[in-house]
Amino acid sequence: MKTGSALKKKPNGRPRSAPNPQNIEAVHVSVLRSPRRSVRKLAAAVRLSRECVRRSLHVDLKFHPYKLQIVQELENDHQLRLEFCQQVTTNINEDNKFLDKLWMSDEAHFHLTGYVNKQNYRYWADSNPIEVHERPLHSKVTVWCAVSSQRVKAPYFFENEERITMTVTSDRYVEMLQSFVAPALNNFPQLHKA
């Protein structure tokens, strides 16, 4: 009644494509060639609809989308690590009090107000609410701590006198070692018996 015709209305957009063995194989070959390509770009490359490509990936090929993981790069210093382990083993074998004198330390960063990943946060509404998340200028603190076989050295917070967090620089680290660590280590008599 709207068009004055009994013919079927032509659909908008790209014609739908059904997953058949040839289409599934084309998707499979294209994904193996470029595994980081998005479904939209993959569909354009193989000239199939996004729905067909998505179905081929999930249902027929049993592929899953995986997120990139960010990890810290390790320096390629296997020989130095091996030499360090051998030296520590030698020290342990030559001095039965060596482990009592050994201190291990590390730093950690703590977020003070919680952490919001805006990539995972969605706000559904009929209009943009312009929602924002404010975080303070100094939103994390760095804490240093050391442990030995005898005790844990109380944590050191990289803060100024007003308890405002500070960025850790080499000068501040040296100052922490001189004013906080060195006096504490002088109070351990087992360090002076070597």
Domain assignments of the chain as residue spans, ordered by start? 21-60, 95-118+133-192
* Those residues with Cβ within 8 angstroms of residue 172's Cβ, 6 or more apart along the chain or in another chain: 158, 166
156, 146 contact by CB (below 8 A): no
Question: Is 125's pLDDT higher than 90?
Answer: no
Residue 49 has pLDDT above 70, yes or no: yes
Question: Comparing C-alpha atoms, which of 162, 161, 191, 156 is closest to residue 176?
Answer: 156
Q: What is the mean pLDDT of residues 150-160?
A: 84
Q: Which of 42-51, 91-100, 112-121 has the weakest average pLDDT?
A: 112-121
The length of the chain in residues reads: 194
Residue 131 pLDDT: 65
Whether the predicted pLDDT of 137 surpasses 70: no
| H or E, element range at 106 | strand 104-111
